[in-house]
């Protein structure tokens, strides 16, 4: 299929250019392992690649991507906990010093929270189950006089994920001891602006 061929062609450009230029870095990462100082939790959206947005280098960031950049609250019950496992590995295994939750404009997961996934397959909606994480925030916004529920929920979802991160005992302990810092951020696709959550006034401020 031509779409996959595009990826392979891209790999060949990478292997002959960027890989060559950064060969020493890749050699060090291969021999010494990874020790990224930052973990970024971002959306699966193809328009919001954190490595592109933040112009990072190999080994700089431990990345976790899922629908709407959501973090579930800490719990150890049944089910599979891929997000929690990645967070555990990032904090306890790699000992990252920063976690960034990156939300973004025009998020389909946030739209699904507001309207339902509506993908038309007639089966169980995993998306609807997942975005239920932000149902209380959604209900509050829908019950308010918000002029832009989509954007308001995109921002509040970052706040919810930060609060849920703090429900993990090992994160709360490391934040208390100042070994770990949490950050909220939001990327505007159309304007390219990055907003960072100010902990003091709980407002997203353009950088």
Structure confidence by residue, pLDDT tens digits, 77-97: 888 899 999 999 999 999 999
pLDDT at 79: 85
- pLDDT surpassing 80 at residue 119: no
Q: Binning pLDDT at 50, 70 and 90, where does residue 50 land? A: very high
pLDDT at 122: 73
- Average pLDDT value for the chain: 95
Q: Answer whether 165's CB lies under 8 Å from 71's CB.
A: yes
Q: How large a percentage of the chain has pLDDT more than 70? A: 100
Q: Binning pLDDT at 50, 70 and 90, where does residue 120 land? A: low
Q: 34-206 has which CATH code?
A: 3.40.1050.10
Question: What angle is formed at CA 111 by the lines to CA 107 and CA 113, rounded to 5 degrees?
Answer: 120
Give DSSP secondary structure letters for 25-51. Answer: HHHHHHHH----SEEEEEE--TT--HH
Which sign, positive or negative, has the C-alpha torsion 191, 197, 203, 205? negative
Question: In the chain, what are the domain boundaries?
Answer: 1-33, 34-206
200 CA to centre of own chain: 22
Kind and range of the H or E run holding 187: strand 181-187
Question: What mean pLDDT comes out for the span 50-69?
Answer: 97
**The model's pTM:** 0.94
- pLDDT surpassing 80 at residue 100: yes
Question: What mean pLDDT comes out for the span 108-127?
Answer: 86
Neighbours of 49 (CB within 10 A): 14
- pLDDT surpassing 80 at residue 1: no
Structure confidence by residue, pLDDT tens digits, 62-77: 999 999 999 999 999 8
- pLDDT surpassing 80 at residue 14: yes
9: helix, strand or coil = helix
User: Which of the 8 DSSP states describes residue 15?
Assistant: H
Q: How large a percentage of the chain has pLDDT more than 90? A: 92
How far is residue 19 from each of residues 14, 31, 57, 136, 202, measured CA to CA in Å? 6, 16, 11, 46, 41
Question: What mean pLDDT comes out for the span 121-127?
Answer: 84
CA dihedral angle for residue 135, residue 117, residue 202, residue 62, rounded to 10 degrees: 110
Which sign, positive or negative, has the C-alpha torsion 120, 125, 127, 129? positive
pLDDT at 156: 98
Question: Distance from first CA to last CA of the chain, Å, rounded?
Answer: 41
Structure confidence by residue, pLDDT tens digits, 139-193: 999 999 999 999 999 999 999 999 999 999 999 999 999 999 999 999 999 999 9
């Amino acid at each position: 299929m031509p779409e996959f061929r595009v990826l392979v062609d891209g790999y060949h450009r990478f292997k002959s250019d960027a890989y060559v230029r950064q060969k020493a870095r890749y050699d060090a990462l291969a021999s010494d392992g990874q020790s990224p100082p930052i973990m970024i939790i971002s959306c699966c959206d193809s328009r919001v690649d954190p490595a592109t947005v933040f112009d990072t280098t190999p080994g700089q960031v431990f990345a976790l991507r899922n629908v709407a950049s959501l973090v579930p609250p800490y719990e150890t019950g049944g089910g599979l906990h891929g997000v929690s496992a990645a967070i555990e590995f990032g904090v306890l295994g790699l000992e990252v010093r920063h976690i960034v939750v990156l939300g973004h404009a025009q998020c389909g997961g946030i739209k699904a929270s507001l309207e339902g996934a509506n993908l038309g397959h007639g089966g169980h909606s995993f998306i609807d189950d997942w975005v239920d994480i932000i149902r209380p925030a959604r209900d509050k916004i829908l019950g308010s006089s918000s002029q832009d529920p989509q954007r308001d929920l995109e921002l509040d979802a970052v706040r919810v994920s930060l609060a849920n991160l703090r429900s993990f005992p090992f994160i709360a302990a490391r934040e208390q001891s100042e070994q770990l810092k949490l950050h909220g951020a939001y990327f505007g696709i159309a304007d390219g602006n990055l907003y960072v959550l100010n902990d003091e006034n709980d407002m997203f401020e353009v950088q």
